[in-house]
Amino acid sequence: MDSNIIRLSAPFSYNHSYLFTNQKFKLRFPSISIRLQGRKNYHSDAKEFDESAFEAERLRLDAKARDSMAQTSKRVMEALAEEEDDPQAWKWVIRKRIWDLMEARNIAQNPRPVHHRIPNFIGAPAAAKNLSELQVFGMANCVKVNPDSPQKQVRFLTLSDGKKLLTPQPRLRTGFFSVLESSRLTPSTINEACNSLGIAKYGRPIGLDEKIKVDLIVIGSVAVDPKTGARLGKGEGFAELEYGMLQYMGAIDESTPVVTSDAHVICVDC
């Protein structure tokens, strides 16, 4: 991402000095084949959608994914303790430090515990408000926002402002992205459309051949380096994969601004 990265942190004060330029993310993706399900998950009539079954399956698969990440983290940390050379070890050290600190200081919100998640933090709505006041947000017609809990208010503000919302299918399980448009929603359903259940219920899945232009990307983070703008997610690599797919689609380029909101900044070199 040769893009501008702005970090919004709340409840701490927002500072426009958190603007980083020329941050390079060299992404290398193997040949990936994704079978999209077209409009299978798009429901113009909410009665067709089995909400309880969807939510139960989502929670089951999320728990399974977190267990897998926990095993990976444990394996890497054990290798680090034995002084084995693992280039990924420092990332897990930082993630664990942040997750442990948020739980210890009780500055996390549900879902908890925050370990192996993009952590929901106290002040996330304030960070979303800061974001909504940025010029890049005001000028954007289409905003891509991750589906995690701390960015729910960002999704709400995007739709409430009449913008098009592009959000990934959770962990890319049932497809790639879903598009939500406020014109297709009622005031009473906009809030519901901002969570995973509502995205599946009201979103229109799109394929890699969709012609769409994304004006702003909002991603969640576990930690951000204020010196470089580099960020760490929860360790599954979906943010990078989604970025690469959007580049492939021609939806973004290296000038597309990227914003991330989180509770803490870690300076790796401090």
Angle at 224 between CA 222 and CA 226, to 5 degrees: 160
Both 109 and 128 in a single domain?
no
Please report which confidence band the pLDDT of residue 230 belongs to, taking 50, 70 and 90 as the band edges.
confident
* pLDDT score for 44: 43
More confident call, 68 vs 97: 97
Both 204 and 178 in a single domain?
yes
Please report which confidence band the pLDDT of residue 264 belongs to, taking 50, 70 and 90 as the band edges.
low
Domain presence at residue 6: no
Q: What is the rounded distance in angstroms from the CA atom of residue 233 to the CA atom of residue 38?
A: 28
DSSP state letter for 108? B
Domain presence at residue 15: no
Both 140 and 175 in a single domain?
yes
Both 234 and 111 in a single domain?
no
Both 148 and 198 in a single domain?
yes
CATH value at residue 149: 3.40.50.10420
pLDDT greater than 50 at residue 11 = no
Both 134 and 210 in a single domain?
yes
Strands 164-168 and 177-181: antiparallel
Q: What is the rounded distance in angstroms from the CA atom of residue 148 to the CA atom of residue 68?
A: 18
Both 140 and 215 in a single domain?
yes
* pLDDT score for 201: 87
**Global confidence as pTM:** 0.72
Both 104 and 132 in a single domain?
no
| Helix pair angle (51-81, 89-104), 10° resolution | 120
Both 249 and 130 in a single domain?
yes
How far CA 195 is from CA of 73, 119, 146, 149, 203, in Å, comes to: 28, 15, 11, 8, 11
The domain boundary, picked from 82, 116, 150, lies at: 116
Both 153 and 193 in a single domain?
yes
- Domain extent, residue 173, equals 124-263
Domain presence at residue 19: no
Q: What is the rounded distance in angstroms from the CA atom of residue 266 to the CA atom of residue 226?
A: 7
Q: What are the pLDDT digits (tens) for 14-62?
A: 232 233 222 333 333 333 333 333 334 444 444 466 777 767 776 677 7
| Helix pair angle (124-132, 152-160), 10° resolution | 30
pLDDT greater than 70 at residue 81 = no
Domain presence at residue 247: yes
Domain presence at residue 227: yes
Domain presence at residue 210: yes
Both 207 and 252 in a single domain?
yes
pLDDT greater than 80 at residue 203 = yes
Alpha helix (H) residue ranges in 140-270 = 152-160, 187-190, 196-202, 238-249
**63-68 long-range contacts, CB within 8 A, separation 24+:** 65/116, 65/171, 65/236, 66/115, 66/116, 66/117
Domain presence at residue 11: no
Domain presence at residue 32: no
Both 103 and 134 in a single domain?
no
Q: What are the pLDDT digits (tens) for 123-155?
A: 999 999 999 999 999 999 999 999 999 999 999
Give the total number of structural domains in the chain.
2
Contacts for 24 with CB less than 8 Å, ≥ 6 apart: 1, 2
